[in-house]
Structure 1
Amino acid sequence: MPQSSARPIRIRGLGRLLVGTILSVLLLIGGALLWIRASLPPVDGSETLAGLHAVVALERDARDRVSILASDPEDLVFGLGYAHAQDRYFQMDLLRRAGSGTLAELIGSGGVAIDRGARLHDLAGTARASLARLDPNERALLDAYVRGVNAGLASLTAPPWEYLLLRQSPAPWRPVDSLHVILAMFRDLQEETNRAERALDLASRTLDPSVFALFRLSPGPWEAPIEGSAGTWPKARIPASGPATEPTASDPASIPDPMPAGSNAFAVGGALTQDGRALIANDMHLTLRVPTVWYPVRLQRTGSNPLDAVGVSLPGAPALVVGSNGHIAWGLTNSYGDWLDHVVLELDPSDPSRYRTPDGWRNLERRTEWIPVAGQDPVRFEIQQSIWGPLVGHDPDGRPLALHWVAQEPEALNLRLMRMVEQTSAESALQLAPSCGVPAQNILVASDSGEVGWTILGRVPRRRGLDGPRPQRWADGQTGWFGWLEPDEVPRIGPDRAARLWTANARVIDLNEQHLLGDGGYDLGARARRIRDRLMERDFFDESALFDIQLDDRAELMEGWYRRLNALVQARPASLERSALLKLLSDWDGRASIDSVAYRLTREWRTAVSAAVLDALNQPLTRLSNDYRLADLPRTEVAVWSILRDPPDWVPPGYGDWTELENRCLERVIAHLGTAERWSEHTWGARNRTAIRHPFSPLLPSWVRPWLDLPPRPVPGDSNVPRVASPTHGASERLVVAPGAELRGILQLPGGPNAHPFSAAREGDYDAWVAGEPVALLPGPARHRRILRPIAND
């Protein structure tokens, strides 16, 4: 009998244990949710703070967009830092660590590879040296911004929620960290390993000269420069024996379908608008993530030198990146000039630790970097250093190569972009731009007096003897970099009231001037050409006309591919498959539209054919290296299409003729579509669906992700149309504005200012961004107001 009564006791005990466990889990989850909610910023009320000269007000509208009102320049950037920290401190932390080589210290081993790149180039050293060189006024503004950042972080009841998951605490912001943020953008916008130059070297050594010429064509047939002209299609002369200078049996490398980075900016002078103001549009195409790259803000300053500016800022940096101040408006696209060069080192035969310089022999330096890693031992990283940069490998002749990059130069990094918001004419803005220390950008400027102009924003090195396909020796003192171009030496267009200007990462100017900037992989030009043609269609413009161009998804580059594919299918023998394919191709409308099966079929066939051709042409390069490929080079479309439009006698190995290659590529595409009954489901929108995620999203359970990520949506557009779009890449903002008429302006962002899971405006303009609906540039009426007061007699 005692044994029979023990079982209910054990069951009751287990029940109590289970209930206790559930309660503990619920309490843990509840506590975590309360902690996360506590990291929402306080947006009302007031606070008394040290470091202010006068009262600062932060107003937020229904979309959570912030307006900062102050009477003092330092107080204004204090308010900007405060807002950045309240809404984006964790993003700022990631950026400063990516730019200084300390990311692994926060996130663990996943950051080691990123840290290696920063430490290889000693970006932290660049930042320290640049900080010491700052203009006193810039330093005073930076210090005010830093005070604001730390005050904004301190205003949170709990640190940003990401630190809870990492079991870390946020470190205070320092002045040098804002320079690290800018260096992180250098890393994002410039290819820091200079792969294309290595691939070009290999190609020049292994390809028949007639084949190599296909990859060096300039000007190209798709280009649409503002100054100068486009080229014509070259004839592909490939020897029947193949593309190599000598036979090779190496296997080719696999070629992916890359998504080129890029942006659009275009402007029209006041002679082409109703009110005489110039008009500008800008959409910067970047990797899309949660939170958005940019932070929308309005900066208002009263007093003897008033300011009312609106646009987007980069959290961590005290400047308006693009926007309008009522007098001028400006927009940016990446310039893709040649901002990196490999340098061949001449070693001393009697002492390989020494290398020749213009001043004689010098010893290679060795640096030991220790990368802190959260939860693990630090990682040791050894670097050999020359005066021209770190050693990164050897050329095919076995000679050591150093890598020189503008981001290694303290003179290339400063905070003069803060001055852009104070400019009142296109002329003064264009004069300022080349002295700003940022990753070199094309800048378009429009003014309220109707003028528009273009130049380079960022320092341009004075390069000599570096236009060939192979790395050079710099030891003779005649070849290399020799300081920086002065602002009046940097190419410029305008200012002009009657001009139509455009830039889409392609060549902007005549080749006679392009050599000053070099070729760092500028774009093919299809986007630029479409934008140019749209601008030439009209005599007068308003904001809606420019916004419509931003959303243009007509795929002119794909038209030729579609006609070729349609002819290929038409030539096939009659069959059910042929009929099904022709039906799929019948919905072609010339656009990268979400409902089109024909566009997706054409796009994927183009990828397969291009890969087959480039794989075959790449085969000679593998005789020397499998690390670099022809696909690393820019504008490979020219080489591939030149071959297809006038096929040479040579045919890639494994194919009987070019028609067989094209048909077999089509069969590979069809195989990925599954059964014929489901082919019609494979629209472009089914593939081109947004995947805009928080960096923590892949690490968390799937049920949590909807609270962090933006909902997936099919989007029109592609890489060679004005509306650039892929699942993880596209318009990080869309801005259209005439300076002085900001009330009519447009500003879209794919997400809200604060991506906090509990923020009511977390998704921001995302639905409008997907649908292509305009969103007002200026913030709406204030829903919240936070007052920052100075300490009396501070």
Structure 2
Amino acid sequence: MKRTRVWLKRLLIGAVLVLVAAVATVVALALSTVPSFTGTQVLPGLTQPVSIIRDRNGVPHIIGTTVEDLYRALGFAHAQDRLWQMELMRRVGQGRLAEIFGEQLVDTDIFLRTLDLAGHAERSYERFPADAKALLEAYAAGVNAFLERPVGLFESRWPPEFLVLRHKPEPWRPADSLTLVKVMALNLSANLGPEIQRLTLAAQGFSPDEIEDIMPLNDGENPPPLPDLSKLYPLRSLGPGRRRTAALDNDIGSGASNNWVVAGSRTVTGKPLLANDPHLRLSAPSIWYLVHLALKGSERANLVGASLPGTPIVVLGRGDTIAWGFTNTEADVQDVFIEKLNPDNPEEYLTPDGWRRFDVDVMEIRVARGETRLVERRRTRHGPVLPPQFRNLGRILGQGYVAALQWTALSDDDTTVLAGLFSPNIRTVSDWIERTRHYVVPMQSMVVADMAGDIALIAPGRLPIRHLENQIAGRAPVPGWEAKYDWQGYVAFEELPRTINPPDGAIGTANARIVSRDYPHHITYDWDADYRHRRVTELLAKRDKHDMATMQAVQLDVFSPAFAELAPLMIAAAKAAVSEEEDLRQLLDQVERWDAQMRSDAVEPLVFMAWLRETVQAVFADDLGPVFRQFFRPQAKALIRVLKGQASGRDWCDDINTPARESCGDILAAAFRRAIADLESRYGKDRAKWSWGQAHYASGEHRVFSTLPLIGRYFIVGTASPGGPYTLNRGLVEFDSEDPFANRHASTLRAIYDLSDLDNSLFMQPTGQSGNPFSRFYRTFETSWSEGQYIRIPTDPAEIRREAIGTWRLLPN
């Protein structure tokens, strides 16, 4: 017995030692993937040595004597911290995800390869002038220098994602940077989704009036009546079925943002103030990478802001005398054309001039652990034919029809990148505006200010001109065989929206209408809900003089104008029906007293959002049937329309699945009961412990490791957060998910620029600088972002040296 105990003890000790050794090995391997902050590297092509000095926040200050040298070093720094992000975005643009992830992304690859973003980028790059090519080649060389660098005995060449997936990246090419810009354009071009949604609703038998109820436009928009789409094409209703390109659905057309600029006449310092916070899907790492480029040669200049890894562009930021910020214009730069096939020859489609053959080639889709697919890709005179599985188009359209996409990004002369290359000569608002002449896509509403005191708004890009007889005007797919739906060219640069030094000294945009009703060109009818735009305008007008503190207060504002309008309507409808239920009535009274502030520590936002979720489902799910999930989101405008009795289509509150005729009060009261029961099941019956922040967890997911069982949560960067879908401090939720109140889409950068002292400018992003989950800079800013804090990025050499934690010296041959 004693001998048995001894052996058991030895076995236990041995097992513990093996486990400790295994854990130590894993930890050592993980840490070996984190690049050093200090080192020396020969970088071929440099003209002079370059320093990469990282500060205590992990922000690199890159100091060199030429722009080419700076870009070479920036490529190196991007690859050090964000190589996996760069590789993943490049593969999205190339349509080569299945090569790594396998069968599940074949349909996504087919869609992306159909667009041929990488091909258009390559052909555009070939047209670039030699000086621009040299800059992009320098950046690519810097990335590749990191890939090919000598590594030590205990240093991994690749970040952990590459090791886990057993994947080796290909060398970076200059055109890859253009491909990434086109991926951003795909994420920000928002018209494709609403067009197909309206077609889907028409296929389900909904009238134009009913479609307008479900997808209401902003007040004051007065488009021509939408025709009955089912009379233009044979459409088929959808039964249950999955959307086979769902992997991209949450990213396509997902951009939103705020920006504003205030003239010196409206500030304490007498110089302009400019603020910007782009809203995109949260991820770990954040899409942006903060950086400071310092040119110290014969020309001296600083460039500070948010760069896009994989490109040399500081997209949002400031120079020495100028600052700028973007929001998505929501411009209608995409049209879906329904093409009619020749019944006698399916290789032809109908045009205004008769039948024409498709342009056809074959795509090779390689699949990890699977068979390579050969897929035919067809193009019409409008653009590529969308795959039938994309958003169920093949199931919706009748036999003999296909859908083709025309989009400004699908061009071989896209010069957008030229507008973003570092030039010390861009010092004034007028310089900036002229530089945007190169800009193609995605169309952005850019606010800009300079130290001389000028402020401006310009929305550059290719804006299609549509025929006056085109009554659909971008809201739904159009017949490809009728000439009146063809684009008539593009709006001239001089006629694009712009405002310079307005009399009231302030300009603000938030994805809503940016032009007056008499603007002569069509931009879109599908502007974003105008609540944030109205709130920016209101808060800027409240003060005669602004300073950095008031700019921060506007940026962090969590008042929801939408819920301030919607909540009283919902309460009035439901109050009588719960008057006899004391517990529910008290909760409803609490919501009634609520000030519509989406504070993290408050319970009312949580109760209201849960009620809103159940209400949207109760009002619309029975009518929409199998397509409801496409519309399962906070539907403030649609519900306001219903509860005010303005719905023109049908009685949406009545449940069509019951013989009774329910009122809105009946439906909302039942939804309130279900909402409270749902909250109790999620967060317990002790309501004193409920809070909005507890449920509204900012969820920046790592694109590989967050899906791992048991440990996946560790790789999510985020914390409790305030705000909601209609607040300036935005936090968009996904009702149709396991965590329906989590914050999935929010500010990916906050920046405020002080034109009286640009070194006083403030920045914040939701994650850290590093994309490596094992780096101390992976989640640096998660709490600071949630709490509304900011950092400075100085350009003063002495301050940079004081804040330095390590320096890389890059040397010429």
Query: Structure 2 length normalisation: TM-score?
Result: 0.84
Deviates more, 1:443-452 or 1:346-355: 346-355
Which residue of the other structure, out of 574, 578, 582, is the alignment partner of 1:576?
Answer: 582
Question: What amino acid is aligned across from residue 729 of structure 1 in structure 2?
Answer: H
Which residue of the other structure, out of 47, 66, 75, is the alignment partner of 1:81?
Answer: 75
Instruction: Flag the 1:137–1:251 CA change in 2: closer, same or farther, 3 A.
Output: closer
Question: What amino acid is aligned across from residue 596 of structure 2 in structure 1?
Answer: G
Contact 2:332 2:463 in 1 (8 A): no
Question: What amino acid is aligned across from residue 728 of structure 1 in structure 2?
Answer: R
Which residue of the other structure, out of 426, 429, 434, is the alignment partner of 1:431?
Answer: 434
Contact 2:575 2:588 in 1 (8 A): yes
Contact 2:457 2:500 in 1 (8 A): yes
Which position in structure 2 is the counterpart of 1:462? 465
Identity of aligned residues (%): 27
Deviates more, 1:317-326 or 1:18-27: 18-27
| Alpha-carbon distance, 1:188 to partner | 2.1
Deviates more, 1:65-74 or 1:473-482: 473-482
| Alpha-carbon distance, 1:71 to partner | 0.9
User: Does 2:534 match 1:529?
Assistant: yes
Distance of 2:520 and 2:160 partners within structure 1: 48
Which position in structure 1 is the counterpart of 2:177? 178
* Deviation by residue 1:447-475 (Cα, 9 ceiling, x = unmatched): 11122211224333334354515433344
Which residue of the other structure, out of 787, 794, 800, is the alignment partner of 1:771?
Answer: 787
Distance of 1:757 and 1:345 partners within structure 2: 47
The 3-state SS of whatever aligns with 2:459 is strand
Which position in structure 1 is the counterpart of 2:693? 685
Which position in structure 1 is the counterpart of 2:368? 374
Q: Which residues in structure 2 correspond to 1:653-692 (within 5 Å)?
A: 653=656, 654=658, 655-674=661-680, 677-692=685-700
Distance of 1:579 and 1:489 partners within structure 2: 56
Distance of 2:279 and 2:591 partners within structure 1: 30
Distance of 1:557 and 1:515 partners within structure 2: 29
Deviates more, 1:682-691 or 1:143-152: 682-691
Which residue of the other structure, out of 542, 545, 554, is the alignment partner of 1:549?
Answer: 554
Instruction: Flag the 1:617–1:493 CA change in 2: closer, same or farther, 3 A.
Output: farther
Deviates more, 1:259-268 or 1:530-539: 259-268
Q: Which residues in structure 2 correspond to 1:211-610 (within 5 Å)?
A: 211-214=210-213, 220-221=218-219, 230=220, 261-357=255-351, 361-392=355-386, 393=393, 398=399, 399-412=401-414, 414-419=416-421, 422=424, 423-464=426-467, 466-468=470-472, 469-475=475-481, 477-496=483-502, 498-513=504-519, 515-519=521-525, 521-568=526-573, 570-571=575-576, 572-582=578-588, 584-585=590-591, 588-610=594-616
Q: Which residues in structure 2 correspond to 1:633-652 (within 5 Å)?
A: 637-646=636-645, 650=651, 652=654
Distance of 1:83 and 1:664 partners within structure 2: 56
* Deviation by residue 1:748-771 (Cα, 9 ceiling, x = unmatched): 011221143442333222221111
User: Does 2:786 match 1:788?
Assistant: no
Question: What amino acid is aligned across from residue 355 of structure 2 in structure 1?
Answer: W
Question: What amino acid is aligned across from residue 161 of structure 2 in structure 1?
Answer: E
Instruction: Flag the 1:276–1:334 CA change in 2: closer, same or farther, 3 A.
Output: same
Instruction: Flag the 1:752–1:421 CA change in 2: closer, same or farther, 3 A.
Output: farther
Contact 1:584 1:597 in 2 (8 A): no
Distance of 2:382 and 2:159 partners within structure 1: 41
Which position in structure 1 is the counterpart of 2:702? 694
| Alpha-carbon distance, 1:22 to partner | 6.3
Contact 1:388 1:402 in 2 (8 A): yes
Q: Which residues in structure 2 correspond to 1:604-643 (within 5 Å)?
A: 604-615=610-621, 618=624, 626=626, 631=631, 637-643=636-642
Contact 1:199 1:628 in 2 (8 A): no
| Alpha-carbon distance, 1:677 to partner | 4.3
Which position in structure 1 is the counterpart of 2:390? none
Contact 1:569 1:578 in 2 (8 A): no
The 3-state SS of whatever aligns with 1:133 is coil
Distance of 1:592 and 1:67 partners within structure 2: 37
Question: What amino acid is aligned across from residue 37 of structure 2 in structure 1?
Answer: V
Question: What amino acid is aligned across from residue 176 of structure 2 in structure 1?
Answer: D
Question: What amino acid is aligned across from residue 171 of structure 2 in structure 1?
Answer: P
Question: What amino acid is aligned across from residue 631 of structure 2 in structure 1?
Answer: A
Distance of 1:116 and 1:23 partners within structure 2: 49
The 3-state SS of whatever aligns with 2:122 is helix
Contact 2:532 2:728 in 1 (8 A): yes
Distance of 1:407 and 1:585 partners within structure 2: 46
| Alpha-carbon distance, 1:88 to partner | 0.8
Contact 1:68 1:80 in 2 (8 A): yes
| Alpha-carbon distance, 1:531 to partner | 0.9
Which residue of the other structure, out of 766, 771, 775, is the alignment partner of 1:759?
Answer: 775
Contact 2:259 2:447 in 1 (8 A): yes
Distance of 2:804 and 2:544 partners within structure 1: 39
Query: Structure 1 length normalisation: TM-score?
Result: 0.86
Distance of 2:624 and 2:325 partners within structure 1: 38
Distance of 1:216 and 1:41 partners within structure 2: 49
Distance of 1:556 and 1:61 partners within structure 2: 40
| Alpha-carbon distance, 1:709 to partner | 3.1
| Alpha-carbon distance, 1:310 to partner | 0.6
Instruction: Flag the 1:359–1:253 CA change in 2: closer, same or farther, 3 A.
Output: closer
Which residue of the other structure, out of 78, 95, 100, is the alignment partner of 2:94?
Answer: 100
Which position in structure 2 is the counterpart of 1:709? 716
| Alpha-carbon distance, 1:603 to partner | 2.3
Deviates more, 1:468-477 or 1:733-742: 468-477
| Alpha-carbon distance, 1:320 to partner | 0.5
| Alpha-carbon distance, 1:647 to partner | 6.6
Distance of 2:806 and 2:629 partners within structure 1: 54
* Deviation by residue 1:311-348 (Cα, 9 ceiling, x = unmatched): 01010011110000022211111121112111132433
Instruction: Flag the 1:396–1:355 CA change in 2: closer, same or farther, 3 A.
Output: closer
Q: Structure 1: any 5+ residue segments left out of the alignment?
A: 222-229, 233-247, 620-625
Distance of 1:483 and 1:416 partners within structure 2: 22
Distance of 2:271 and 2:422 partners within structure 1: 19
* Deviation by residue 1:387-422 (Cα, 9 ceiling, x = unmatched): 322333466565332122223222345411324654
The 3-state SS of whatever aligns with 2:126 is helix
The 3-state SS of whatever aligns with 2:686 is helix
Contact 1:523 1:635 in 2 (8 A): no
The 3-state SS of whatever aligns with 2:268 is coil
Instruction: Flag the 1:191–1:647 CA change in 2: closer, same or farther, 3 A.
Output: closer
Distance of 2:514 and 2:416 partners within structure 1: 26
Instruction: Flag the 1:614–1:713 CA change in 2: closer, same or farther, 3 A.
Output: same
The 3-state SS of whatever aligns with 1:51 is coil
Which position in structure 2 is the counterpart of 1:235? none
Contact 1:274 1:540 in 2 (8 A): yes
Instruction: Flag the 1:734–1:32 CA change in 2: closer, same or farther, 3 A.
Output: same
Instruction: Flag the 1:183–1:231 CA change in 2: closer, same or farther, 3 A.
Output: closer
The 3-state SS of whatever aligns with 2:511 is coil
The 3-state SS of whatever aligns with 2:614 is helix
Question: What amino acid is aligned across from residue 312 of structure 1 in structure 2?
Answer: A
Contact 1:80 1:318 in 2 (8 A): yes
| Alpha-carbon distance, 1:350 to partner | 3.6
